[in-house]
Amino acid sequence: MTLAATLSRHAPGDAEEAADLRRILDFVGRHPHPFERGIREGHLTGSAIVVSASWDQVLLLHHRKLDRWLQPGGHADPGETRGEDVALREAREETGIEGLVLHPTAPRPLDVDVHDIPARRGEPAHEHLDLRYLVIAPRGAALVPAQAETSQLRWARWDEVESLHPDHGLRRALAKARAVLGR
């Protein structure tokens, strides 16, 4: 199934996600290689809502440059064309966890979100059109944060997440994850 076909079957969780999904579908329709970082207006990214093997905690990282708590994720490497692959690789690189797997029955993607990335040296402001996937960590997963991007990695119990002040899109994705997990 093509990316556009997969996305057209996605069920948005709220009006904001429905609007983001329309924008992502339009973007994918206009760009034959939507994960390519060279697209000036933005590009698709992949991220992972990583939950513990016991499903009672979610892994969040404090992003050094954006100064906020986020899920692991980011840009595609050259040749990557599937959001799942990007999400799993980025989560492994940013957390150091080997053996991450996609949740077997969760929707793929679990959630979609469009957000602005501010201009930085050598890179203009642009959008990340993020495809988010539910990912399970193996038991006893050792955390090794990617120091260049991450100031802290933290397993948070579901009842602790709100104290980290996640944005609306992350709250929505986490609520979807909890629903899939039956929590």
Among residues 94, 87, 151, 93, the alpha carbon closest in space to that of 113 is found at 87
What was the pLDDT predicted at 148?
Answer: 72
H or E segment at 94?
Answer: helix 83-95
Domains, the chain, with CATH or none: 3-22+42-118+128-181 (3.90.79.10)
What was the pLDDT predicted at 183?
Answer: 67
Q: Does 36 score more than 70 pLDDT? A: yes
Q: Does 50 score more than 70 pLDDT? A: yes
Can you give the pTM of this predicted structure? 0.95
What was the pLDDT predicted at 152?
Answer: 86
Say which residue the tokens 């909890």 belong to: 178
What was the pLDDT predicted at 146?
Answer: 76
d(Cα 17, Cα 24) in Å, to the nearest integer?
A: 10
Between 112 and 65, name the one with better pLDDT.
Answer: 112
d(Cα 159, Cα 4) in Å, to the nearest integer?
A: 35
Write the CB contacts of 84 (distance below 8 Å, at least 6 apart in sequence).
46, 102, 108, 133
H or E segment at 6?
Answer: helix 3-8
Say which residue the tokens 């203009």 belong to: 124
What secondary structure does DSSP assign to 118-173, as a single string? Answer: --BTTB--EEEEEEEEEEEPPTTPPP---TTTEEEEEEEEGGGGGGG---HHHHHH
